[in-house]
């Protein structure tokens, strides 16, 4: 027993003496899950957080100077559209979707959840052609409509909304499916919501609702105050038709009741689903979104929404503290999609990290209808790590002065530098 104890102590000492893979040194860490908002170094080994401390002196294969930057967990954007591989024109499950890796890392996003681009009939094609081929960590909500978001017309066929099939696929692909989605429903009935709720019940997953057309016979307040379950998500929460304020400018009571029941409110900015006239008074009166998300697609990214850092910066401009903006872009959305291992930088957690420069100046922000709000701060992502690997380096912090490099750097094995004859 004594020999075994000695051996374990030796092995433990050897493990402790092993160099870290990466140390991020000199930054300010905001990690809401661990109540940290202070100067911290972060050490990484084997793709996971190995140490977090005010100063880490251990050896590392790579030390990255992040002085002047704010470190956060990698962002978790739970409303994006990624089913670009159908090659169908002008639809969300087609040319309006984006390739995840093209828009994730450069914006500090390491995890995305596709919001129902695919339905139960084509989800496996989506998985094989997009989810399994992306470096970005991609999850998905399955649309209750059989073919997902191939067109608004396809989403109106209630006979193709089959909860049992959605639940079957959700269980088969439980490693990536995080919920059920309904969107763009035009009829005055509750059919799409009711079918999606049944699918969520059978699958044991939350429901995300894009309410579609706001009809008088199915009011939004009834959806969130009576129909949605704890953990279900109302996206496009600040869309113009959502009733937020009474005639005195006060928030309606139903919003607080829904939140007390556990209903979640997601931003889902998108191309037409975010109005400052709703968001600004809501933030001012303390009703902050549970999750900040983009509804990223080829239309929204080129107009008012732009990207995740811009959407976060809008909430800074509305008066939310930076730590709360980070909380609603990392740990809270990760929990909402059932991924509690993500969105924080506890020791042992996956080392998904974003490093930010908080720009100071005079910045203008548009909502979905070109309503403008000005702010003094704007987030710029300088560095992103996915599982401890640098995947975005805006300011070449991981580089080395080329004059200090070997004369033949950049020459691949088997190549030769052949000078011209004299």
Is the pLDDT assigned to residue 2 strictly greater than 60? Answer: no
In this predicted structure, the answer to whether residue 17 has a pLDDT above a threshold of 90 is no
pLDDT, mean of residues 185-203: 97
Alpha helices in 176-238 (DSSP H): 191-203, 220-222
Phi, psi of 416 (to 5 degrees): -145, 145
With a cut of 70, say whether residue 5 has pLDDT above it.
no
CA–CA dist 170, 178 (Å, integer): 8
pLDDT at 123 > cutoff 50: yes
How are the residues of the chain apportioned to helix, strand and coil, as percentages rounded to the nearest 5? Answer: 30, 25, 45
Give the containing element (helix H, strand E) for 112: strand 109-119
The domain ranges of the chain are: 73-381
Return the percentage of the chain with pLDDT > 90, whole number: 93
As a dihedral over the C-alpha atoms of residue 308, residue 313, residue 315, residue 321, rounded to 10 degrees, the angle is 120
Q: What is the mean pLDDT of residues 331-335?
A: 98
Mean pLDDT, rounded, for 244-261: 97
Alpha-carbon gap, residue 264 to 194, rounded angstroms: 18
387 φ, ψ (degrees, to nearest 5): 55, 40
Q: Which of 394, 314, 381, 311 is nearest to 352 (CA)?
A: 381
User: Is residue 190 a contact partner of residue 219, using CB atoms and an 8 Å limit?
Assistant: no
β partners of residue 115? 141
User: Is residue 15's pLDDT more than 80?
Assistant: no
Q: Is residue 245 within 8 Å of residue 271, measured between CB atoms?
A: no
Q: What dotted CATH number matches 73-381?
A: 3.20.20.140
Q: Where are the beta strands (DSSP E) in 226-276?
A: 233-234, 264-265
User: Over pLDDT 70: what percentage of the chain?
Assistant: 96
Query: Quick check: helix, strand or coil at residue 225?
Result: helix
In angstroms, rounded to a whole number, what is the distance separating the alpha carbons of residues 292 and 401?
38
């Amino acid at each position: 027993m004594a020999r075994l104890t000695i051996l374990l102590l030796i092995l433990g000492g050897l493990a402790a003496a092993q160099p870290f893979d990466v140390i991020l040194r000199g930054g300010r860490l905001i990690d809401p899950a661990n109540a940290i908002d202070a100067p911290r170094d972060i050490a990484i080994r084997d793709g996971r957080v190995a140490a977090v401390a005010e100063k880490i002196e251990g050896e590392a294969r790579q030390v990255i100077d992040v002085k002047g930057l704010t470190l956060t967990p990698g962002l978790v954007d739970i409303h994006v559209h990624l089913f670009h591989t159908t090659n169908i024109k002008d639809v969300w499950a087609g040319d309006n979707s984006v390739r995840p890796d093209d828009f994730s890392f450069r914006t500090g996003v390491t995890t995305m959840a596709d919001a129902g681009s695919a339905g139960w009939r084509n989800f496996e094609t989506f998985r094989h052609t997009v989810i399994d081929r992306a470096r970005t960590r991609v999850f998905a909500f399955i649309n209750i409509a059989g073919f997902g978001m191939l067109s608004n017309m396809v989403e109106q066929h209630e006979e193709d909304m089959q909860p049992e099939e959605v639940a079957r696929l959700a269980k088969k692909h439980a490693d990536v499916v995080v919920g059920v989605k309904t969107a763009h429903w035009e009829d005055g009935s509750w059919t799409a919501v009711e079918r999606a709720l049944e699918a969520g019940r059978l699958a044991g997953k939350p429901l995300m609702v894009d309410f579609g057309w706001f009809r008088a016979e199915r009011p939004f307040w009834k959806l969130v105050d009576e129909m949605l379950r704890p953990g279900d998500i109302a996206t496009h929460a600040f869309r113009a038709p959502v009733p937020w304020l009474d005639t005195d400018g006060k928030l309606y009571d139903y919003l607080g009741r829904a939140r007390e029941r556990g209903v979640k409110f997601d931003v889902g900015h998108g191309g037409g689903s975010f109005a400052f006239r709703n968001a600004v008074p809501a933030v001012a009166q303390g009703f902050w979104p549970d999750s900040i998300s983009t509804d990223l697609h080829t239309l929204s990214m080129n107009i008012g929404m732009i990207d995740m850092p811009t959407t976060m910066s809008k909430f800074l401009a509305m008066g939310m503290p930076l730590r709360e903006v980070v909380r609603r872009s990392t740990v809270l959305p990760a929990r909402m999609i059932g991924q509690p291992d993500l969105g924080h930088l506890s020791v042992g957690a996956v080392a998904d990290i974003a490093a930010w420069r908080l720009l100071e100046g005079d910045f203008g922000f548009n909502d979905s209808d070109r309503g403008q709000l000005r702010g003094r701060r704007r987030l710029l992502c300088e560095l992103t790590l996915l599982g401890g690997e640098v995947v975005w380096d805006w300011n070449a912090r991981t580089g080395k002065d080329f004059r200090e490099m070997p004369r033949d750097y950049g020459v691949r094995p088997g190549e030769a530098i052949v000078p011209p004859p004299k």
